Amino acid sequence: MAILYTVFMKRKAVSKIISDCGVFVKRQFEGLSLQKAFGYLGIEVAFILLFLAADLLTKRYVYGGMVASGKDIIIIKEVLRLTPVQNTGASFGIFQGHTDILSVVSVVTLFFVAVFMIFSLKNRNGWLRVGLVILIAGGIGNLIDRFTLGYVRDFIYFELINFAVFNVADSGLTVGVVLILIYVIFYYRPEEKKPSETRIK
């Protein structure tokens, strides 16, 4: 009897979790038609691909061109130059030599950010949406490098302040985080629960 009771309670707990998850999902898309949801998602995926293309193309032609020629490209003398650097760390050269760990962390992080992007489709705040798009694009750009090359191709160097060499994807990651923080600080408001949801059960 004790075993049956335990099995019954476990099944009941699992059913409750599944039910709660269903309610949560339904609430996230409440008031948003399927057509609109796919439309919003399609637009955001398109912008992710555009930003990703910009990152990969600059790495291939700008970085690749400098590697082939063996010469840097000076944009503003002693201020800004392009110079190819193989980065085995994270953005802006931190955590050097930990490519495998950073790859795993990047995959997990991108997964959760992508899930959040989908479940927050109803929230059309521009700061949040743009931040998520370029954050995901930047993360994918550097992840492709880590998986295919074992390092990230960096080439933008602010010589004036001796700043770490970075790339377009790093810029997306940084600006994306800043935009999301602006949203959280100035625009985010927790949803008020309905009376029926706050009553003591």
Tell me the C-alpha to C-alpha distance, in Å, between residue 126 and each of 38, 83, 119, 148, 151.
Answer: 18, 34, 16, 33, 33
3-state secondary structure 56-77: HHHHHHHHHHHHHHCCCEEEEC
* Structure confidence at residue 83 (pLDDT): 97
pTM: 0.81
Position 116 in a domain: yes
- Would residue 20 show up in a list of annotated catalytic residues for this protein? no
Position 97 in a domain: yes
pLDDT tens digits, residue range 34-54? 899 999 999 999 999 999 999
* Structure confidence at residue 190 (pLDDT): 80
* Structure confidence at residue 197 (pLDDT): 47
Position 200 in a domain: no
Average confidence (pLDDT) over 81-89: 93
Catalytic one of 20, 55, 72, 170? 170
- Residue 102 CA, chain-centre distance (Å), reads 14
* Structure confidence at residue 201 (pLDDT): 42
Position 106 in a domain: yes
* Structure confidence at residue 153 (pLDDT): 96
Number of domains in the chain: 1
- Would residue 55 show up in a list of annotated catalytic residues for this protein? no
Catalytic one of 20, 55, 100, 154? 154
Position 11 in a domain: no
Position 55 in a domain: yes
**Edge-to-edge strand list for the sheet holding 80-87:** 73-76, 80-87, 152-158
pLDDT of residue 101 exceeding 70:
yes
Structural domain that includes position 56: 33-189
Under the banding of pLDDT at 50, 70 and 90, the label for residue 7 is low
Position 22 in a domain: no
The whole-chain average pLDDT of the chain stands at 86
Amino acid at 37: A
- Residue 32 CA, chain-centre distance (Å), reads 23
The fraction of the chain above a pLDDT of 90, given in percent, is: 67
